[in-house]
Structures are given as C-alpha cells and as structure tokens.
Amino acid sequence: MFFNLLALFFKTSRLFVAISAVSIFFGCTTSPHVSHIGDVDSDGYYESLTPLGKKGYFLKQLAPNVYFFSTGTYNNLFVATQEGVVITDPIKGKGDLLKKAIGEITNQPIRFMIYSHSHIDHIGDAHLFASDNVQIVAQVETGKALKKYKDKNRPVPHINFGTNYSLSIGGITLELIYPGEGHDKGNSIIHIPSRKIVMYVDTVTPKSVPFKNFAYTKDIYNQMKSIEKVLKLDFDVYVAGHLHRPGLKKEMREVFSYYRASQKASVEALKRVSFIDVRAKSKTKDIERLFGEYLDTVAEECYRILKPK
C-alpha cells in the first residue's frame, strides 16, 4: 500500500514524493500546532491521579518475590529473595522512598540494579543505591549513553548486555531483552516468565495515548515491532514506568491499537492532504516553514480521523 501511494504521488510531483517518503506514517507523530491544543476536547481516555497518602508511595505485591512500587506518576518493580534484592529504575528524587518500601518487605541487601534505559527521570537516584556490592545491569547502548553523560547520579553499568541477558537470584530469573531502538536507544524489556510479569517503560502506559511524538520515538516502526514482541511474551501484568498502578496485558493491547489506528490515519491523512494545496494557501516562501505547515495540516487531519465520532 505504501508503494502504491508513493507511485501515485510520484506522478504528481517529484518534490512531493521526496517529502511524502519521509513523512509517511509520521503524520500522526507530528503534533499539531500548539495553538490548537486548547481546542482539543478530552475523550476521557486517561486515569486520574490517586492521592498517595502519608507514606508518599504505593507498594503492592504482584507475585511471590515481586513488588510494584509507585510514586503516583512514576513506577518500577523490585524482586526480593533470600539471596538479595534486585531493583529496577531508581526514580529521580524518590530513592529514599524506594528504600523505605524495600525495608517494608526485606532486610536483604540490594545485589543488582537494572536500568530500563538511560533517562534521568527514571534512574536519576541510582547513586543512592550504588556500592561495590551492587552490580548495575543495562543494555550496551544505555551504558554508552551514560559514559557520555558523565552524570555522577547515574553510575555506568557493570554488566552491559547486547540483545539478551538472564539474571538469576534466589530461585527467580529475570530475562532482559533488547528489542532495538524505539523510545531511546537501549530501552529494554524486563520479563519474569515464572511470575508472568513484564516491565516495559515509557511506550505503553495503561489508559494513556503515547507521550508527545510517540514518546519521542527514535524509530516508530521498530517501536511498534517491539510492542508486538512484548505482547508475544507470556505475562498477565506489566509495569510501564508511569501510573499509580500496573497494567494488564489487555491494556497494553488497547494502547497498541492506538498506534495501529494512528498508522492507518497517517496513511489516510497523507492521501487527503495535498502539499500543492497547502503551498497554494501558504504565505511563506521559506520551504522549511512550508514543510512545517504541511506537516501540521497532516497532523490535524490525523486528529480528525482518530477523534471518536
């Protein structure tokens, strides 16, 4: 279908083909002009923040040894065993609360710290957990990014894996899987098969459409393939990095259906919006600005197509 569409455009204008080729499917990843945001009615697809209470965090057992920790908008999981604790993503500014939460469950020392990816909002308190006795594990691209950042709050990993890494401790195994670029380079899936639990951060928050530009994706095609890959894993519950609660597999499917609908809407919007028409209506002679106006028009058309009728 993409090729037919390109062929059609090719007859119209070489310039248009060049422009369309880079923007096909990216129409909906481009946010409409800011001035329109206030005009957008909420369709109710969100979940209200829940009051945190005195403790300042939510702690919930997901399965034997596995615990969900959330500070409302951010979350992670940790695994407590008789041989020590594995933590993931020590959220910036919330490390002391995470220590308290772990203290509610166990006195065992932390042995491993997994970074899902390099972003500071998710791992900015890593320095509070780093010690000679804690092995930090992350995908090699995350390690490379952190070496470059030289941020003392985000110590570099000791174990840098490529596509897969198995971490076993106290009779439980965590499988780390790198599905390739999507939201950041290095963003990895954490799967605990024996507990049917997945952690996959920043791409499929339950009851949420993806954050701006599909979570600032580096590769929308691969990001979708990655979500498909996650959905093929055996799990019931997942931890998304955001929200006060974990999600259900059917909720991941639901968010993914928005990705698919956006892909379809992008193709349709690119058919409907003519670059020639946008150029005819535009006052600018600046080609880059004109291209921006074209993308805004495509994005607005995507919105019209996607909006529930």
Binding stretches for Zn ion (CB under 5 A): 119, 202
Q: At residue 1, what is the residue type?
A: M
CA distance 270 to 274: 7
| Identity of the residue, 156 or 267, whose beta carbon is nearer to Zn ion in the bound complex | 156
| Identity of the residue, 119 or 154, whose beta carbon is nearer to Zn ion in the bound complex | 119
Q: How far is the CB of 203 from Zn ion (least distance, A)?
A: 9
CA distance 214 to 192: 26
Residue nearest to Zn ion (CB): 119
Q: How far is the CB of 219 from Zn ion (least distance, A)?
A: 14
| Identity of the residue, 125 or 202, whose beta carbon is nearer to Zn ion in the bound complex | 202
* DSSP single-letter state for residue 133: T
Q: How far is the CB of 60 from Zn ion (least distance, A)?
A: 23
Q: Judge contact between 52 and 41, C-beta under 8 A.
A: no
| Identity of the residue, 141 or 202, whose beta carbon is nearer to Zn ion in the bound complex | 202
| Identity of the residue, 27 or 179, whose beta carbon is nearer to Zn ion in the bound complex | 179
Give the helix/strand (H/E) hosting 203. Answer: none
| Identity of the residue, 119 or 191, whose beta carbon is nearer to Zn ion in the bound complex | 119
Q: How far is the CB of 51 from Zn ion (least distance, A)?
A: 25
Q: How far is the CB of 155 from Zn ion (least distance, A)?
A: 18
Q: How far is the CB of 70 from Zn ion (least distance, A)?
A: 16
From 25, 35, 30, 28, select the one nearest 5 (Cα to Cα). Answer: 25
Half-sphere exposure of 244 (CA within 13 A, CB side): 12
CA distance 188 to 208: 20
CA distance 147 to 251: 35
The first and second tokens of residue 174, run together, are: 């965590």
| Identity of the residue, 27 or 186, whose beta carbon is nearer to Zn ion in the bound complex | 186
Q: How far is the CB of 39 from Zn ion (least distance, A)?
A: 28
Q: How far is the CB of 187 from Zn ion (least distance, A)?
A: 7
| Identity of the residue, 26 or 115, whose beta carbon is nearer to Zn ion in the bound complex | 115
Q: Judge contact between 81 and 169, C-beta under 8 A.
A: yes
| Identity of the residue, 30 or 188, whose beta carbon is nearer to Zn ion in the bound complex | 188
CA distance 91 to 121: 6
- 129-138 b/e (C-beta count within 10 Å ≥ 16 → b): bbeeebebbb
Q: How far is the CB of 94 from Zn ion (least distance, A)?
A: 15
Q: Please give the C-alpha separations between residue 10 and each of 2, 75, 179, 298, 301, in angstroms, as whole numbers.
A: 12, 47, 34, 18, 22
Q: Judge contact between 158 and 137, C-beta under 8 A.
A: yes
276 φψ region: left (φ > 0), alpha (ψ -120 to 50), beta (else): alpha
